Amino acid sequence: MVVKERGRPLRVLKDLTSDPGFTGQFSVSPDGRRVAWIRARGDLGEPGRLLVQSGRRARVVARDAAAGFPCATPVWSPDSRRVAYLPLGTGGVGRRVTAVPADGGGPARRLGTTRGVCHLAWAAGGRRLAGYTGDTAGVFLLDAATGRARRVPGIPLANHVGGLSPDGRRVVVRELRPSAPGGDGAWPTAFTPSIVDTRTGRRIPVTADGEVLGAAYLPDERLVVRVRGNPGNTLVLRAPDGRETGRLAEPPQSARMGLLTVVP
């Protein structure tokens, strides 16, 4: 689901899950108006279709997507104009990240190659993307200006990237212990977030007065911390210096849903 700062949740996944080709690979645009998702057409070795849906209408914007791999979710550009995805590679998900216009017009653009192809997050600054590896062995940061990627230090194992600060300096991840299962790559409905400096590997504390269920960054560098509540959860907004700047109450019916994005 998406929670808007000004009010009610926007439900966009109801019609997708009824499609027999729906693979669980989806993301919501930063402006909260559209959803990008991937439809399988056959076996894992066959390319899928990347679609952009607004309301009940969907448009195919790419025909070579890796389909059937839950962790290979598409991701929207910060201005909601493009969608990046993983084209089908030899043996399954490739490492090449490609972006296409969300309206279906114009050429595709290669952003670069990275091992971190799972649960991609695109920084609001527009230059950097982060994702974890399909085998959960770390997180990689891709520079779309150079097309090069590097491993984020200090994260041995992870199976979710929840967000990236606008400058790409801090990443929200779900870290794993060596004995923990990696999971099937599906987007978690809740997770204990770690915030890691992408240059040094230093941990930035996530503070909240309650059980933390997730975190994400807003374009203005504020951090959104999701805290368990009864009957509904709370989104706590924190400035870069850690100060609390506000709180948003989630509708009670969304308590067990995953938080995909927060729309300013």
* Binned average pLDDT, 10 residues per bin, the chain of 264 residues: 48 64 91 92 85 88 93 96 90 84 92 96 98 96 97 98 97 96 92 97 94 96 96 94 92 87 80
* Domain 2-205, CATH among 3.40.50.40, 2.120.10.30, 3.40.50.300, 3.30.70.1520: 2.120.10.30
Q: Which two tokens stand for residue 63?
A: 């025909």
Q: 128, 112 in Cβ contact below 8 A? A: no
pLDDT at 92: 61
pLDDT at 90: 56
pLDDT at 154: 97
Pairing of strands 48-54, 35-39: antiparallel
Question: Which burial class, exposed, middle or buried, applies to 70 when counting CB atoms under 10 A from its CB (0-12, 13-18, 19+)?
Answer: middle
pLDDT at 89: 78
Q: Is 144 helix (H, G, I), strand (E, B) or coil?
A: coil
Q: 76, 27 in Cβ contact below 8 A? A: yes
pLDDT at 91: 59
Its pTM stands at 0.92
